[in-house]
Amino acid sequence: MQGGASARRYDVNTAYRWMGLSMKIYLLAAALLAMATPALAADLPLKAAKAPAPFDPWDIAFGGAVMNDYVFRGITQSNHQPSVTAYFEPRYNVNKDLQLYVGTSSESISFANHAAAEVDIYGGIRPTFGAFALDFGIWGYLYPGGRCADNTLTGGIPGGNVCPVSTDTVFLANGNVMKKDVSFFEVYGKGNYTVNDNWQFGINEYYTPNFLNSGAWGNYASITGKYTAPATTFGNSGVGMYVSGEVGRQWLGTSDSFYGVLPNFPNGIPYASYDTWNIGIGFTYKVFTLDIRYSDTDLSKGNCNAFTSAFNASGNTSVTAINPGGAGSNWCGAAGIARLSVDLTAMSNLK
C-alpha cells in the first residue's frame, strides 16, 4: 500500500514537472515567433500603393451663350435684339484656396457708333476663406470698329453728311451724338458667402473714372441671392434648378463737354444715377444652363436717352434737365431675357 502511494506521488510530481517544462517551452517559442514575425513580414512581397496624382495648378474655363437680349445693369446693349457671347479664361490655382486668372470675352452689340462688338479683357485673384469666396480684379471694355455715321444707316436712321464736323463723332438724325471710341475699364471687388448646399448671398462693387469714355465716373454696387434646389428635385434626371436675383445701383458723375447741352449744361451733363434689379429661374443639365430672367430700372425714358445716345430714341415729350430735346428711349425699361449657355473647364470636362 505504501509502495503504491509513493509510486502515485512520483507519477504526479513527474507530471507537474513536465507540464511546467512544457509551459516554459511554449512561452519561449511564442517569444521567438513574435521576434521573428517582423522580419518574416518584411520578406513578404507587398503590393505597391498607388501614388496620388500630381497636383496640376492649371485650368481653363471656356464657353458661350445665345440670348434674346444683351442687358447690362438693366440697360440693353443690343437694342433688345438677340446677341451671342463667348469667353476663354485660363486659371492658375496657387493652392485650393487661391486662384489667379485672366480672361477675354466678346458680345455682339448694337451701338449708335457702329462698334463691331464688345470685347472684354480682364484679370484678377480669387481667394477663399471657408464659406467666403472673394474676387478682385480689373475689367476692360473695348468697343472696336466705332465710326462716323456719314452716309450710312444707324438703326435705319440716316446719319447725313456731318462727319467733317468731327471724325470722332457720330451724329444722329434724332439729335443724339456718340463718341467714336467709348472703351473704358473698371476695377472691382466681389464677395460670396455659401450658407449651405442651397443658399448663397453676394455683394459686388465696380468703379471706373470714365464710364463709356464719357468723362463721368461710375460706381456700381449690388447684392445678390441664389437658391439652388436639391439635386433630387427632378429625380435622377440630372436636371438642376435655381432661383436668383440682384438689386443694384449705378451712380454716375458728370460727362465732359462733348455731351454738354444748352442752355443748362454746356460743360457736361450730370447723368442720372439709377436703381436696377433682376430676378430669374435657371435650369441646368451637365454643362448647359437655361436662364429666364426679368430685368428693369427706374430710369426715365428721357434720362435713358441722355445716357445711352440711343439711335432709335424718338418723340419730344420726354423732356428732362439733361434731355431738353425730349426724345425718349426704351433701352432702360423692363426686359425679359432668355439665355442658353454652355460652360466647361479643361480639368473637369476634357479629361
Residue 68: give its domain's CATH number: 2.40.160.40
Q: How far apart are CA 182 and CA 178, in angstroms?
A: 8
Q: How many CB atoms lie within 10 A of CB 14?
A: 10
Confidence band for 114, pLDDT divided at 50, 70 and 90:
confident
How confident is the model over 14-46, as pLDDT tens digits? Answer: 555 545 555 555 555 555 445 544 444 444 455
4 is a domain residue = no
Q: What mean pLDDT, rounded, does the chain reach?
A: 85
- Residue 22: predicted pLDDT: 56
More confidently predicted of 178 and 319: 319
- pTM given for the model: 0.80
Q: What is the pLDDT of residues 143-195, one digit of tens each?
A: 998 876 444 433 333 433 333 334 555 556 677 888 889 999 999 999 999 99
Which residues, 6 or more positions from 100, have their beta carbon under 8 angstroms from its beta carbon?
Answer: 91, 92, 94, 124, 125, 126
The Cα 63–Cα 286 span in angstroms is 13
The answer to whether 225 and 193 have CB atoms below 8 angstroms apart is no
Identify the pLDDT of residue 70: 98
For residues 157 and 166, is the Cβ–Cβ distance under 8 A?
no
Q: Which domain holds residue 293?
A: 64-349
Mean pLDDT score, 290-294: 98
Residue 104 lies in a domain: yes
249 inside domain: yes
Q: Which residues neighbour 240 within 8 Å (Cβ) at sequence distance 6 or greater?
A: 228, 229, 231, 233, 234, 283, 284, 285
Within a domain: 33: no
C-alpha cell at 21: 517544462
Residue 9 has pLDDT above 90, yes or no: no
How far is it, in rounded angstroms, from Cα 17 to Cα 310? 114
Under a CB-based contact definition with an 8 Å cutoff, are residues 166 and 147 in contact? no
Q: Are 217 and 273 in contact (CB under 8 A)?
A: no
- What SS3 class is residue 278? strand
Number of domains into which the chain is organized: 1
Is 271:304 a contact under the CB 8 Å cutoff?
no
pLDDT for position 25: 53
Within a domain: 162: yes
Q: Tell me, yes or no, whether 32 lies in a domain.
A: no
Percentage of the chain beyond pLDDT 90 is: 69
Domain annotation covers residue 23 = no
